[in-house]
Each structure stands twice: as structure tokens, then as C-alpha cells.
Amino acid sequence: MKKISRHYKKMKIAYIKVAVLAIVVSAFFFPSMEKLESTGDNIFTIYLNGMQVGVTGDLDQVESCLIAARKKLAGSSDEMVLAESELTYEGEEVLWGTIDDTKDITANMVTALRGSVKETLNRSYTVKINNYTVNLASTQEVLALLQASIDKYDSENEYYVDLVLDANRELNVLTTQICSAREQEEEEEAAQEIMTSAGVDAALDEMFADVEPAVEKDFSDYELGLLSLGFGDTVEVVESYLQDYELTSLAQAIEEVTKDQEKEQIYEVVSGDTLSQIAEKNEIPLADLIAMNETIENENSMIRVGDELIVTVPEPELSVVRTEEMYYEEDYEAEVIYVDNDDWYTTQTQTLQEPSAGHRKVVADVSYRNNEEVSREILKEEITYEAVPKIVERGTKIPPTYIKPISGGRQTSGFGRRKSPTRGASSYHKGVDWATPVGTAVMASSAGTVVKAGWGSGYGYVVYINHADGRQTRYGHLSKVLVSPGQTVSQGQKIALSGNTGVSTGPHVHFEILINGSQVNPLQYLN
């Protein structure tokens, strides 16, 4: 038994020697088998989204492998791919361990990411026009959209749209450039001529032409047609990555960009304007014009020259500006000739000569924004027969102004037809009534001379004042009169106290303005 025991001991020692030798040999012939330092966990099994992707002894390499894997996944498509990437690991302490190559780990990570793709974003282009944006699938669609905006004004197909980098932006933002095919062709021909002797002759001819006196052009010398074309709004195009549902079809985008939309603009009131004329001029209902402007209460509200009103005009999202050279014949009116009269008020005019239209032939450069003309420059004009101007004599003195005769008060009856409020009252109201407590101060609406002050039948106590512009104001149903006939009063001077005298249904002030002896709506003349 002892012999057998010694034999086994020898065999065990031999096995141990062979094992040690095998380890030494493997260290030389298997590079992935490395001796690891004993510092706690020193070898790590890496998992990406639950899939084992490799073994490493350096955790710092794992993040680099993941970045490389993401780049490979993204580089395999023109689209932007979003994938989940949950990275975990298990560590252990060993003396010797097999380490995977970083290339193998990266390749395994790509496989793991492909199986965890969350969504794919398409390379697309966002077009921004003022506050409007639309997303399209390609630059070809962007160009097609922009081209559709100018095609309806370019019947000869002379212009085309190109995209260029916006030099005013730090980021890579594209903007538009509209090019003329004809100008490009002419530039190429000119460059070709310069390379020949004919080109030299042409250059000499042009030099001498500058010295020769200019000869007036005939109508046939003008090249009529479209001179220039451009966008009236800034267009910005940026590359983006979007999902399918975020993209707009080209047909829908063209519809949205080229179709007229109701857009708010500012209209400045000019001399002679009325609210109804402004509404008609801008093709909007009067009620809509009043609703859009908080300063306008009703159709009788006063407006002054220079006031700014909100109006709506039909205009596409992307406006097109263009200039056309045009020939036309027209009847025309000569400018009005004014003769100033310093003794008249500016409200007084008299026609001294009636006008008569003339006729002329014209070549002009006409500029448009969409379909609305914005300017016209006449290049050549030939008068067939002269127009006779209208001659108007007009006053230069500033006329008196009129103010509301009381402070506060509530309007209870306007000017015009009404249901009689009480027996004896007229069904056609010739002034404006404001309800106010008895004893409220009544002031002169404008400077003038008192012509009546006392009892006035249905008016009760009343005051009449004549003004320098020929108008008259009347103040009725007063409780007390504070002025007398022949007295001169200033604007805003206290002339009476309100009351409830005459044919009246309650304490109030009745106010009239008369022009040429007839009552008019006072609200149209108050400042």
C-alpha cells in the first residue's frame, strides 16, 4: 500500500508540473491570456442592452467602443438612427484572464444596437419664411417649392432659384438667390467675344459710344418685359432630421406658400378718407374694419389724417417682387393747380377751371409686390394731346375746432331718425343728447358770438353761438343761461348749466351744429 501511495504522489506532482508548463506556454502562444494584477475586480464582462459584447480589463475602453459603434451604425445610412444603449458589466478578480480585442467588442456593440433601434429620422430640410415653417424631404423639393412661387410671374421661364450659404449667419444656413438665365447667357457670350478680335472691336465701339452724345430712344428701342424678379421675404433653409409624419408633401407646401392669406397691415389715413371709403379701398366689410380697430366705436367715429388703422390684405406666405418694363397708352389728368386765398378757411374752395383729360403714349418701369403696384417710373412719354388742369381756389386759414360741450355724460340719443321719446318731440333728431345731472357746466364748443340766450320753446332755455367759419352751435334744455346775446365767448368757456326744460324726458344737454343753416351730425365734427 505504501508503494502505491508513493506512485500516486509522483503522478500528482507530474500533473501539477504539466499544468504549470501549460500555463506558461499559453502565456507565450495566446496573447489574449493576460496576467492580471490583484487589485479587486480586474476583469469585466460587458453587456449592451442585455447582450454580452465582450470581456475587457479596462473599463475606460468601453465608452470609446460604444462611440465607435454608434458612428458605424449612423454611417450605414443617410438617415439619423436613434437606438437605446444601456451599458452594464460584471467584474471579478482573477490571476489570468482572456481579453477581447476592442475591434471585436465594437462589432458586437453594432449588432446589439441594430437590435435596439428605437426610431429612424429622415434627413430633411426646414424652410422658414417669416413666422411660417415647412419641412420638406430634399433640396429638390425646396427648390421646386420656391420655383412655384415665381413661375406665375415668369411666363418666359427666364428665372430660376438657387440655394446659397447665407454669409450673414454663423451657422450653415442656406438662403435664396434668383438667377436670370438670359443674363447668364449674355455674360458667357460677352466673355467669349473678349477672347476674339470681334470682342476687341466691340470693346472699342463701346468706348467711343460713351464719348458720343446720347440719342433719345424711340419706343421701339425699349426691350419690354420682365426686368427683375426676387423674393419680398427672407427665406432660410436649414438641414434637419425628422420623422415621416413631420414632413409635408410638396403639393401641400406649394398650396400653403403660394395661396393668398388674409394678413394684417397698417393703413395710414389720408385727406378725404372716410371709414366706408377705407373699407371699400381695402375690400373688407366696414363691420370687420371697426372690429379690428379698438379706437373705432362705430361707423360715425372720427378719424384724422395720419391715423393708423389695421386692415387685412390678401397676400401669400412668400411674396414676390418684380419690375416690368411696359408700353401703354392712356388718358391722363393734369395735376390740379391751386390758388391760395388767405381770407378763406381751409374748408372753403371754389373751382375756377374745369379739367379735361389728355392722351399719351408711355414706356415705364412698373414695380410690383405680388399683384400690387408699388411704384412706377416713366422712362419715355409722348403727349398725343395735352390735358387741361383743374384750377381750384382754396383757403389757407385754419378753421375753428369743436369740442364736446360737457365733461362726461351718457349719450342717450344720436343724430337722425328715431322713435319720439315723448309727446311733442320730433321723430327726426337734429342733434345729440347726453344725459347728465341738472347743474352740470355747459361749455362753448368753439369760440364765437352769442346770438340767442334765453327761452326757446321746445328747446327750453337755449344758447345759440355763431362761429367764424359760418357754422352755428346750439345748446338746449338748460336750467340756467350764463351769457347774453352779442357776447364774445372762447372755446371751453362756461356758458350755461344743464337742465330739464322744454320738451324733455329727463336731465340732459341737447347739442347741435348747423352748416349753411342746416343741422349736421355733430359727432363728425368734434375733436
Is 90 exceeded by the pLDDT of residue 420? no
Identify the helix (H) or strand (E) that includes residue 381: strand 372-385
Instruction: Identify the residue with better confidence: 185 or 310.
Output: 310
Instruction: Identify the residue with better confidence: 271 or 83.
Output: 271
Instruction: Identify the residue with better confidence: 498 or 468.
Output: 498
Is 50 exceeded by the pLDDT of residue 264? yes
Q: Give the pLDDT confidence of 12-21 residue by residue, as tens digits.
A: 555 555 555 5
Assign domain 262-315 to a CATH class. alpha beta
Distance in angstroms (rounded) separating the CA atoms of residues 462 and 130: 61
To the nearest whole percent, how much of the chain has pLDDT over 70? 83
Q: Calculate Rg over the CA atoms of the chain.
A: 46
Distance in angstroms (rounded) separating the CA atoms of residues 256 and 130: 14
To the nearest whole percent, how much of the chain has pLDDT over 90? 48
Is 60 exceeded by the pLDDT of residue 3? no
DSSP 109-175: HHHHHHTTEEEEEEEEEEEEETTEEEEES-HHHHHHHHHHHHHTT-TT--EEEEEEE-TT-SS--EE
Domain residue limits, the chain: 33-115, 124-204+219-241, 262-315, 320-397, 410-524
DSSP annotation of 522: G
pTM over 0.85: no
Distance in angstroms (rounded) separating the CA atoms of residues 492 and 524: 19
Q: How far is CA 160 from the centre of its chain?
A: 25
Across 35-44, 152-161, 297-306, 327-336, least confident range: 35-44
The pLDDT value recorded for residue 125 is 92
Across 222-236, 248-262, 421-435, least confident range: 421-435
Instruction: Identify the residue with better confidence: 387 or 262.
Output: 387
Instruction: Let me know if 404 is exposed, middle or buried by CB neighbors in 10 A (0-12, 13-18, 19+).
Output: middle
- What residue has cell string 315723448? 422
CATH no. for 410-524: 2.70.70.10
pLDDT bin (cut points 50, 70, 90) of residue 201 is low
pLDDT average, residue stretch 360-377: 94
Is 80 exceeded by the pLDDT of residue 352? yes
β-strands 432-435, 508-515 pairing = antiparallel
Is 90 exceeded by the pLDDT of residue 167? no
pLDDT bin (cut points 50, 70, 90) of residue 28 is very low
Beta bridge partners of 466: 449, 472
pLDDT average, residue stretch 131-139: 92
The pLDDT value recorded for residue 120 is 55
Q: Give the pLDDT confidence of 233-247 residue by residue, as tens digits.
A: 999 999 888 888 889
pLDDT average, residue stretch 483-492: 96
The pLDDT value recorded for residue 283 is 82
Distance in angstroms (rounded) separating the CA atoms of residues 162 and 164: 7
pLDDT bin (cut points 50, 70, 90) of residue 141 is very high
pLDDT bin (cut points 50, 70, 90) of residue 498 is very high
286 CB contacts (<8 Å, ≥6 apart)? 275, 276, 279, 299
**Rounded to the nearest 5°, which phi and psi values hold at 505?**
-105, 0
The pLDDT value recorded for residue 479 is 96
The pLDDT value recorded for residue 212 is 56
Across 79-93, 188-202, 285-299, least confident range: 188-202
Instruction: Write down the mean pLDDT value for the chain.
Output: 85
Report the CATH fold assignment for 320-397.
Resuscitation-promoting factor rpfb fold (2.20.230)
